[in-house]
Chain A
Amino acid sequence: MQKIGVFVCHCGSNIAATVDVKKVAKMALKEPGVCHAEDYPYMCSEAGQSRIAAAIAEKGLTGIVVCSCSPRMHEATFRKAAERCGLNPYMVEIANLREHCSWIHKDMEEATEKAVILMRAAVAKVHLNTPLQAGESAVTKRALVIGGGIAGIQTAIDIADAGYKVDIVEKTPSIGGRMSQLDKTFPTLDCSACILTPKMVEAAAHENITIHTYSEVEKVSGFVGNFTVDIRKKARMVDMTKCTGCGVCQEKCPSRKTANEFNRGLNTRSAIYTPFAQAIPNVPVIDTESCIKFKTGKCGVCAAVCQAGAIDYKQQDEIITETYGAIVVATGFDTIKLDKYGEYAYGQSKDVITSLELERIMNAAGPTKGHLERLSDGKAPKEIVFIQCVGSRCSDDRGKPYCSKICCMYTAKHAMLIRDKYPDVNVTVFYIDVRTPGKNFDEFYRRAVEDYGVNYVKGQVGKVAPQPDGSLLVQGVDLLDNKQILKKADMVVLATAIEPNPDARKIATMLTASIDTNNFLTEAHPKLRPVESPTAGVFLSGVCQGPKDIPETVAQAGAAAVKVIGLLAKDKLKTNPCTAQADELLCNGCSTCANVCPYGAITYEVRLVNDHGIREERRVASVNSALCQGCGACTVACPSGAMDLQGFSNRQIIAEVDAICR
């Protein structure tokens, strides 16, 4: 029989205000095996923990139930406290009286009744707990960063600076990401490329960083400390070791009709290309879908003009396999598609553009060489309308329910830059709210209004109608004046909502990291663990976790790097001892469990078994506890009941069920 101590936490008034903690402690004493019960304002505090220690020493407790907050918060705390007193940490169970009881119920009697039942279930479980020993696994001292935008670059540099090897995997031919597409950055109006390219060069030149561009993560297996990752290096058709980056091939390439992704399709590019001038690596790729050589077999101009002989039409995709101790997701974002927003005439008129397209137009390397002009006729616009919240804060299926966070600021930036460069252009911004929390952000927005005379109108736009004369009729509303506004504009810019990179879900699935309904990766705790995924060893950096501007992204990238460094600095990791175990006497060797195991942790061996005096050789399941992650799929699949999961055994769960249904 176990000697169990029950410790009921008040959590200040968080639990005690709705649960009669004294009663829970009193009722605990009536449970079989409970020889100590007490309540305390803060069980997790130093004083609270020492009360547990005192009780263990005094009463010789063999099992502990802490009735407190969610085990996701403090299970580790109490396990460590128990361990310090010589009790096996897995003899501790938590009854979740806060998140699952006091915070959601108002009626004291009802909540107390439930709290008692939850306590009982935990006590019933502890009766069947057995001491477990955590194993150890080695840590591969190398990190993988998925995504080579500013988030990925910064994370990689920070990890590399600490002395660990980092690989960056980037899908496109160059690192740089969205930030490389931007013209200026708020709130200081630095040129985006001017502050980004030094970082790109630093990453490329760093002895600890390996960059795989034009590559994608194909398969991930393993677990924290020991991930095995297959990376597909797509065939560039250009030998990276030979290419000098002279650019002659791009000049001479006869295929020039492919939409230029980097310029958001506003102009075209050659079939052999580097996305932008400062690309890293400065080695072009051949887009085999547009290349004449690949389509018809006849061309080969690039190979002919390449002095270095770097063109290799026979190159094949290559798969490399690496092992990593930690993985950082930094997959970034894209703007949403606007096909469901017919009222804004995007797609009907070339002069209705997204803000990211405007970035390219304003950029000296962009399709108009930085001149602000209408894409339809090349004329200089005189009247520009900006529309905010296009697809953001939209609870229907057309858009996204969240605020994209960056639009208010970049629109103020655009408006200001246009008024600065072209003072004769009128700029009107239709907004729902202007949201500018951030250092020097509101000042920046006010400057746009006060110093640059940008006309902000509180209200939305209902319709943009292209007119026969090429102008755009904007029908909006001024809610403060209660007037509908009809405005003739030459150009309309849509502050389009951002969404996570379309590959985010695929990558999250590979990593078994959680992802929310909007395809943002979920953090382990919304406040206290914002850069970690709940999946151990997976970290989040940048917009893949939620909308962020550049300063926040860089801050988060650094935070993620610190977490990675903290992990890689360890030589050994404790493994989860809650793994499956097969009872050799019950196992009939049917292989059902091996078939459902997602980790291939179950193998079969022929073993000499002593079954109640009968000694015979049997084929029985054997679980590799280093590979087993403790999901329990095998325990249910097993037809003879031989498989059980330590820490969540059949008997333990049934004991909980019984306690609840009693």
Chain B
Amino acid sequence: MPVNQNNEEFRPVIVAFCCNWCSYAGADLAGSSRLSYPADVKIIRVPCSCRVNPMFILRAFEKGADGVILCGCHPGDCHYSTGNYYARRRMTLLFSMLDFIGVENGRTRVEWVSAAEGVKFSETMNSFVAKIRSLGKNVRLGDLRCKN
């Protein structure tokens, strides 16, 4: 499918991994406060940001995701004490590798959102979706074998 970068109708596929304790609750708060963000974002609940295996993110891109965002508790506030620190280190490495193979840094993001930050959650998702829309469709890692 040809990609029109400026096409307003471009609906990216965005996967958001949210930790159960802070960011998922932050997303719930955004919901109950009716703070909207584009429907392109689909959230997957994980117990902690450190549960997110880099493989999941690669898999998402392989399957045609246009952006992947990982949200966790603020540094120091992890429910499991140190999980978000692991996530931060792992993602720094993964994202620089992805950038190296051509998946722009803008397509990946790590953001700390606490359970009280519904506003931040919706703002983050709005800006992330806007970024992905400006980057257009991800074609770099799409694996033809994965297409049905």
Contacts and interface: CB of A to CB of B under 8 A. Distances in A.
A303 to B, nearest CB: 44
Interface string B80-107: 1111001000100000000000000000
A578 B46 CA distance: 11
Nearest to A93: B45
Given A514-B115, A645-B47, A103 B31 contact: yes
Nearest to B20: A72
A74 B73 CA distance: 23
A660 B42 contact: yes
A661 B79 contact: no
A650 B21 contact: no
A654 interface: yes
Interface in B49-100: 50-56, 59-60, 63-65, 73, 76-83, 86, 90
B65 A661 contact: yes
B43 A96 contact: yes
A99 B47 contact: no
Contacts of A106: 36
Given A99-B27, A522-B114, A660-B44, A650 B53 contact: yes
Nearest to A629: B80
Interface range on chain A (Cβ under 8 Å from partner)? 35 or more
A107 B40 CA distance: 13
A583 to B, nearest CB: 15
Contacts of B52: 636
Interface residues of B, number: 52
Contacts, number: 160
Interface in A95-133: 96, 98-101, 103-107, 110-111, 113-114, 117-118, 121
Contacts of B50: 596, 631-633, 636
B31 A100 contact: yes
A598 B80 contact: yes
Contacts of B37: 104
A534 B46 CA distance: 16
Interface string B23-37: 011011011101111
A70 interface: yes
Contact of B46 (A70, A596, A648): A648
B74 to A, nearest CB: 8
A645 B27 CA distance: 23
A111 to B, nearest CB: 6
Contact of B54 (A98, A636, A645, A657): A636
Given A509-B77, A598-B81, A114 B47 contact: no
A104 B36 contact: yes
Interface in B101-122: 114-117, 122
A635 B32 contact: no
Contacts of A558: none
A633 B81 CA distance: 11
Given A99-B28, A534-B25, A636-B86, A661 B80 contact: no
A229 to B, nearest CB: 15
Given A509-B76, A514-B115, A648-B51, A658 B63 contact: yes
B129 interface: no
A534 B43 contact: no
A514 B32 contact: no
B80 A512 contact: yes
Contact of B35 (A104, A110, A117, A654): A104
- 5 tightest A-B CB contacts, nearest first: A99-B31, A632-B51, A661-B63, A631-B80, A516-B116
Given A596-B82, A660-B65, 19 more contacts: A96-B45, A110-B39, A118-B42, A514-B114, A514-B115, A514-B116, A596-B50, A598-B81, A630-B47, A631-B48, A631-B83, A632-B83, A633-B83, A633-B86, A648-B47, A653-B56, A657-B60, A660-B42, A662-B63
